[in-house]
Amino acid sequence: MIDFGYTPMPITVHNMDKADLSLAKWLAERDETFNHCISCGSCAATCTAGKFTDFSFRELTHSIRRGEISKAFSESEKCMLCGKCILVCPRNVNTRNIVMLIRKANQIFKP
Amino acid sequence: MRYPTFTLPFTIGLSFVLLYILVIWTIWIVRLSRREQKIVWKRLFTLRTIKAIWESFREGLLHHNIYKKNAVLGFMHMGLAFGWFMLIVLGNFEARLYPHGVINPPYYPIFFEFFRHDLTPLHEYEEIFTFLMDFFLLLVMTSIGLAFFKRFRSRALGMRRTTKHILIDRVAITALWFIFPLRLFAESVTAGLYNTGHFFTNFLGQWVIYNLPLDYLYYPAWWAYSISLGVFFIALPFSRYMHIPTEILLIFLRKYGVKEKNNHSTFTTIELNACSRCGICIDACQLSTTLNISDTQPAYFLRDLRYSKPNERLRETCMLCMRCLDACPVGIEVTQIRKNERNEFPLFGTSNYDYLSEHKYPKAKVAYFAGCMGHLTPSVIKSTLALFDEAGVDYTFIDKDGSICCGRPLQQNGQVDAAKQLIDKNNTIINETNADVLVTSCPICASEFKHNYRLNMPVLHHSQFLNDLAKQHKLTFKNTGEKIIYHDPCELSRGLGITKEPRELLKNSFILEENKKNTGEKSLCCGGSLGITNTSLPQKMAIASDAVFQLYDGKTNLLATACPMCKKTLAMAQETVKVLDIAEVMLNNLEPKKKKVQSQKEPAEAEVLS
């Protein structure tokens, strides 16, 4: 293949009809506040881990809602559970609980 | 003498329970780790043993710890334990003083009144023995009455809730409740027939139940007494009453220095068996008092852990605020046991925090660590650093560019390995500063630094450090004469025992409004606790506003606390009281040292000019 110095962009379109929303459902059953998130990004702004790396609770919710489960599992490990995001969330999302639940799901969902 | 058949249930029960205790104590002691056994041996013949004997007497019989918290409840436990103990001891003395000899079968002193109706051979002791036996029986009966009353109206004895018991506990408690009324009945029947006893049994026998067919009741009454004793003894090892023998062992081991470690051990088993499920922890727990979650407290958690495994909800529904630890009359290390139980379920990886970079910071005498929660409340950092500047402290702010979490939240939620990564990273950063002292604004961090880090410098909370500065007259404050409430953060008061310093600091400018009930080691949790994940924010807010209004007495609207997280939570929960960090309030009342600053500057300028 000829090297043009650039490559086509990876496909970023998500087919929501085919998205695997099992984790989103599983989480919402255990903590309904998961559905309350409006992606305002307050959590991302305060995040301790976010100071050092590309991580935020907002992104985590996004990827779960898009069905990117394996990404959510690997991302969720970056959380330090410090709890700042809970205190700033305007929608009272129980963020730490959801991170813990994602980690539990990581053990349950594994084939 | 023909063998008295009716003593059989008692004899079987007693032999069973004694044998069981002997076997289980041996197993436990053998299974203690070698290090623990070594300490026990080393300290066996020291003053500690005498102290342990005294404590066993004080706690096992007099229930001094319960008495200190609640006099009626203490009396109830004391009456039952000490009264029963005295009945056994006096019964034995009485039986052995009787002229037929010192050696007798174990059931003989217990059923002494059945065997001997004529006590005149005791001579001058007859009166005193019969009186004391009746007196202690009356004491025990009073306690049983109180206990019975408590089951139905616990509030009358100062308990909001009592423990809900499982079947074996119900069997044991029923048997226990029957023992003394049946003994009283048997002795009264005997007194009715043979005119024995003293003011209590003699009165009942001769004046109250004399109309009953006492001849027919004589044997059944003694049989019933013996059966109730037998049932109680058989049920004891499997019920909550196992705490009676276990607590003695626990007190001795604790006095020798055996402690809970970072995972379950034989000592944990001993602690689990020493829990009497008295339910004092339920009332101490704010999850119960505020949120009405009254089935996850240590009484239930330890019970389930003793018999099998507590479920997830039971394991995780706890704020780890340590109020139960402070309230427990047995002194079981409840919080550590729960943390250890959580540790058995690791969820995080062991290389997931590789993204953390270790910033380098300039060296200084004082290393200041704000912590995550400090960064969430920038005014705390600002005020603390302003005070440092004022006092001329040579400091370096070691988490200026984003702090790495101290690891406590992960650790409290059972993620020890994950926390270890954070601990290692922070440990290097802090140790590399080579500072004389590490000052932190966050009691959560302070507690973690003190307990789980290997630092080459002492750790101080900013309230301690600022208090030291004030004492050295490096900081002077205006005396406003205003009133202020101080809220003790859990990790600072119960976790680190720091209660005096913040108060001393506040007293420079304020008059403290103290609410004796919920201060110091008994302080209320703000609800923001990082030890729990399954409570929602509104629930946390309910706990927080309760915590504020327990302290608030209408005399002042100013509340100081010493934890950025407590500040945030308490301020979010209500609007009546203004919540500030101790550093903020002190900065507001700072007496600026203008003269000094000028006088320092002038010579410097003069030097430059010359």
Q: Are B407 and B492 within one domain?
A: no
Structure-token pair, residue B565:
């997280």
| CB contact (8 A) between residue B409 and residue A86 | no
pLDDT, position A4 = 86
pLDDT > 90: what percent of chain B?
Answer: 74
Q: How confident is the model at residue B352 (pLDDT cuts 50, 70, 90)?
A: confident
pLDDT digits (tens, 9 = 90+) for B113-124: 888 888 777 778
Any A CB within 8 A of B372 CB:
yes
Packing angle of the helix pair B266-274, B243-255 (nearest 10 deg): 130
pLDDT, position B213 = 87
pLDDT digits (tens, 9 = 90+) for B66-107: 998 889 999 999 999 999 999 999 998 888 888 766 677 888
| CB contact (8 A) between residue A87 and residue B530 | no
Any A CB within 8 A of B469 CB:
no
Mean pLDDT (chain B, rounded): 91
Cα A27 vs. chain centroid, distance in angstroms? 11
Q: Are B393 and B479 within one domain?
A: no
Any A CB within 8 A of B120 CB:
no
**Closest by Cβ to A87, choosing from B376, B404, B422:** B376
| CB contact (8 A) between residue A52 and residue B356 | yes
Residue B516 located in a structural domain: yes
pLDDT, position B113 = 85
Q: Which of A87, A88, A96, A99 should one mutate to test binding to chain B, selecting the residue with the greatest count of B CBs within 10 A?
A: A87
- Is the distance from CB of B237 to CB of B246 less than 8 angstroms? no
- Chain A residues with CB under 8 Å of B536 CB are 33, 92, 94
- Chain A residues with CB under 8 Å of B568 CB are 87
Q: Which domain does B177 fall in, by range? A: 65-238
Collapsing DSSP states into helix, strand and coil, what is residue B397?
Answer: strand
Q: Which residues, listed in sequence order, are joined to residue B477 by a DSSP beta bridge?
A: B590
Residue B609 above 70 pLDDT?
Answer: no
Q: In chain B, how many domains are there?
A: 4
Higher pLDDT, B205 or B17: B17
Neighbours of B263 (CB within 10 A): 12
Q: Are B272 and B414 within one domain?
A: no
| CB contact (8 A) between residue B401 and residue A92 | no
Residue B55 located in a structural domain: no
Q: How confident is the model at residue B151 (pLDDT cuts 50, 70, 90)?
A: confident
Q: Give exposure, B492-519, as e/b (b: 16+ Cβ within 10 Å).
A: bbbbbebbebbbebbbbbbebbebeeeb
Q: Are B479 and B450 within one domain?
A: no
Q: Which of B327-336, B508-517, B601-610 has the highest mean pLDDT?
A: B327-336
Q: Are B82 and B219 within one domain?
A: yes
pLDDT, position A6 = 87
Residue B59 located in a structural domain: no
Residues 416-435 of B with CB under 8 A from A: 422
Domain of residue B460, CATH code: 3.40.50.1860
Collapsing DSSP states into helix, strand and coil, what is residue B459?
Answer: strand
| CB contact (8 A) between residue A100 and residue B347 | yes
Tell me the domain boundaries of chain A: 39-109
Mean pLDDT for the stretch of residues B518-533: 92
Residue A110 above 70 pLDDT?
Answer: no
Domain of residue B551, CATH code: 3.40.50
Higher pLDDT, B65 or A12: B65
**Closest by Cβ to B536, choosing from A33, A103, A107:** A33
**Closest by Cβ to B348, choosing from A82, A83, A103:** A103
pLDDT, position B403 = 86
- Chain B residues with CB under 8 Å of A46 CB are 375-376
pLDDT digits (tens, 9 = 90+) for B436-483: 999 999 999 999 999 999 999 999 999 999 999 999 999 999 999 899
Q: Are B567 and B582 within one domain?
A: yes
Mean pLDDT for the stretch of residues B346-372: 89
pLDDT, position B52 = 95
Q: Which of B313, B537, B540 should one mutate to test binding to chain A, selecting the residue with the greatest count of A CBs within 10 A?
A: B537
Q: Are B181 and B299 within one domain?
A: no
Q: Is the dihedral of CA B579, B584, B587, B588 positive or negative?
A: negative
Neighbours of B359 (CB within 10 A): 14
Q: Are B106 and B193 within one domain?
A: yes
Q: Are B80 and B187 within one domain?
A: yes
Q: Are B319 and B200 within one domain?
A: no
Q: What predicted TM-score, i.e. pTM, was given to this entire model? A: 0.90
Residue B244 located in a structural domain: no
Any B CB within 8 A of A92 CB:
yes
pLDDT > 90: what percent of chain A?
Answer: 76
pLDDT, position B2 = 66
Residue B604 above 70 pLDDT?
Answer: no
How many Å apart are CA A73 and CA A63, to the nearest integer?
10
Q: How confident is the model at residue B273 (pLDDT cuts 50, 70, 90)?
A: very high
| CB contact (8 A) between residue A94 and residue B533 | yes
- Quote the ipTM score: 0.90
Any A CB within 8 A of B347 CB:
yes
Q: Are B332 and B383 within one domain?
A: no
pLDDT, position B126 = 84
pLDDT, position B594 = 59
Residue B605 above 50 pLDDT?
Answer: no
Q: Are B322 and B292 within one domain?
A: yes
pLDDT digits (tens, 9 = 90+) for B200-248: 988 898 888 888 888 899 999 999 999 999 999 999 999 999 999 999 9
Mean pLDDT for the stretch of residues B146-152: 88
Residue linked to tokens 């088993």 = B269
pLDDT digits (tens, 9 = 90+) for A20-56: 999 999 999 999 999 999 999 999 999 999 989 999 9
pLDDT, position B442 = 95
Any A CB within 8 A of B349 CB:
yes
pLDDT > 70: what percent of chain B?
Answer: 96
- Chain A residues with CB under 8 Å of B537 CB are 86, 89, 92, 94
Collapsing DSSP states into helix, strand and coil, what is residue B490?
Answer: helix
